[in-house]
Structure 1
Amino acid sequence: MGIAVLVVTWNSAKVIDGLLESLRPGLDGLDWQLIVADNDSADDTVARVESWAARNCDAVCRVVHTGGNLGYAAGINAALTKADKYDAALVLNPDIRLHEGSVRSMYEFIDDGEGTAGEPGPRTGIVVPRIVDEEGALAYSLRREPTLLRALGEATLGARAGRFAPLGELVMDEQAYQHPVVADWATGAVMLISAACLAACGPWDESFFLYSEETEFSLRARDRGFLTRLAPRAVATHIGGESRVSPELWTLLMSNRVKLYRRRHALAPSVAYWGAALLREAPRAALGQQRSRSAVKALLSRKMLD
């Protein structure tokens, strides 16, 4: 049945060509189909996908028009509804570039049996590659589960907190990216998810418009006995980083982190987690950082912990 490649686009004309051209080498040796869920792009994203499909007439390619900018999770769900039967679904950002043979290396870690190596226990349901930036430098993409202590660690130490497992979500040990380690979750720019995992978990949570949707799905998968694992020989290049400069996207990122924590914890620890997020952003807002000012305003919303 092969791989269902799912791409969610929104005004992605500047980056989609590179992704499309990387699909054949990245999926070499595998049967695959491409489903692009377009969130009402105003540019020529769809035209570029259709042009690629015309030049690659032997490839199965479908475009799903969602009818609006519905978000990443909604786009994934829409694409899944139009996919033929598959063994695994490959979720891709349009600014991903697959390296040759990367998906086959990822697919080798998918576990459709009773457990790893056929033994009872958790199965590998989500596989991610090593991600590098445009210069080829390792991008830290593995994450630990959000906790109150980690929120406090990041509030006081910033990104450096990731060097210490109890204090930060970000896995910053480069050696970890050389082995097929298990992570609590990983960046959702490129994820291979088994059909069994998708069936057990159900649709992606569309209440997360952007950010934390991959965290929620990975933790939900783990709750159902499916692990997230790194395939160290698989490599993908990610062109991104907009959340670091856009106040709107940064605000959404911080708000959704609190929202997700509240979904999985009682009110008292959630209030403390919210306080840690506010502690992280308030000093930066006081120093004039626009994105932190925007985040603080959102965090102070009365509905933040509903």
Structure 2
Amino acid sequence: MTVLVAVVTYNSERLIADLVEGLQAGLDGLDWHFTVADNDSRDGSVAAVRRLAPAATVVEMGRNAGYAAGINAAVAASPAHDAILVLNPDVRLGPGCIARLLEALKEPGTGVAVPNIVDGDGRLIYTQRREPSVLRTLGDAVLGARRAGRFPLLGEVVADERLYAAERFTDWAEGSTMLISAECWQRCGPWDESYFLYSEETDFSLRARDAGLGTRYVPDARAVHLEGDSRVSPGLWALLTLNKVRLFRRRHGRVRAGAFWAALLLRESSRAALGKRPSRAATRDLLSPARLRETPGPASVVRS
């Protein structure tokens, strides 16, 4: 089987060398092709890829088109493949990771396979997610994500470590490392570019699940995620929050989305009152009809 490794870069030069080195270990013994879609980086990301991975396909987007658009462009520009590995540039694959995920894709009803992921200090990252709901958002607001996540009805984040010990289906998983079967991509792809950044992996996984192709968590496939800055950047956190509302509205309609918006507003405003800048930005944008209506773009990401 041939695996397409699809990576989106944006000022990622410092990550390229370790990324390329990690691909060798994670894909050892497999046929694979590396494609990078670059969202108009201002550093040497493109030059670094061409120097360190000369056989790679490089797609220069010419603008910051967003994460989903980059993934779609990488897939469209690549040779034939049997599976697509969507990979953040700050992920380091463990030995044999993707071979194990490929095995999991053969299990009935599986369209996406995701590994066990730890942070740079070796701590488990809670990557499994339940479908967003009003009650889960309220649980998060009142109890906090980790405490609420121990209870299936009250938390979107699966925060029970016992559920990371065995292979299982999850509604969706954070999108830094996802192996997608070619069949799943053909039936459910491409990714929805209107989200620009955040919720695109949620939307894809839930649509795949609706089509009978679930997301399978595989504990003995391992990777390290050095992690992004959505939790500390006000602009990114506000965008993440707005896209949750947009996704919920598209799946459930405006009436139920109103209740979901109110639950999110409660969560973010209560945290803003405690002085958290990302939640202040999210609260401001949740209260802006214009921000709720507009299509996300680069300006959404850089706002503070």
Q: Report if TM-score (shorter chain) is over 0.5.
A: yes
Shift of 1:305: 6.5
Question: Given the two structures, how large is their TM-score scaled by the length of structure 1?
Answer: 0.93
Q: Is the 8 A contact 1:96 1:190 kept in 2?
A: yes
C-alpha distance in structure 2 between counterparts of 1:127 and 1:151, whole Å: 26
* Counterpart position of 1:86: 81
* Counterpart position of 2:24: 24
C-alpha distance in structure 2 between counterparts of 1:71 and 1:143, whole Å: 22
Select 2:93's aligned residue among 78, 81, 98: 98
C-alpha distance in structure 1 between counterparts of 2:141 and 2:159, whole Å: 17
* Counterpart position of 1:137: 123
Tell me whether 1:275 sits opposite 2:262 in the alignment.
yes
Deviation by residue 1:202-254 (Cα, 9 ceiling, x = unmatched)? 21000111111100000011111101001111000000141111001110111
Tell me whether 1:219 sits opposite 2:214 in the alignment.
no
Amino acid at match of 2:235: E
How many residues align structurally? 292
Amino acid at match of 1:64: V
Moved over 4 A (4+): none
Tell me whether 1:302 sits opposite 2:289 in the alignment.
yes
Shift of 1:137: 1.2
Q: Is the 8 A contact 1:270 1:305 kept in 2?
A: no
Q: Is the 8 A contact 2:3 2:82 kept in 1?
A: yes
* Counterpart position of 1:109: 104
Q: Is the 8 A contact 1:271 1:305 kept in 2?
A: no
* Counterpart position of 2:280: 293
* Counterpart position of 1:147: 133
C-alpha distance in structure 1 between counterparts of 2:160 and 2:18, whole Å: 30
Structure 2 residue runs without a partner (length 5+): 295-304
Structure 1 residue runs without a partner (length 5+): 55-59, 117-122
State the Cα RMSD in Å: 1.2
Shift of 1:14: 1.8
Amino acid at match of 1:177: Y
Q: Is the 8 A contact 1:16 1:94 kept in 2?
A: yes
Report percent identity of matched pairs.
Answer: 55
> What pairs with 1:136-285 in structure 2 (closer than 5 Å)?
136-159=122-145, 160-285=147-272
Deviation by residue 1:91-131 (Cα, 9 ceiling, x = unmatched)? 000000001100001100113xxx72xxxxxx201000000
Shift of 1:32: 0.2
Shift of 1:287: 3.0
Query: Per the alignment, in what secondary structure is the counterpart of residue 8 of structure 2?
Result: strand
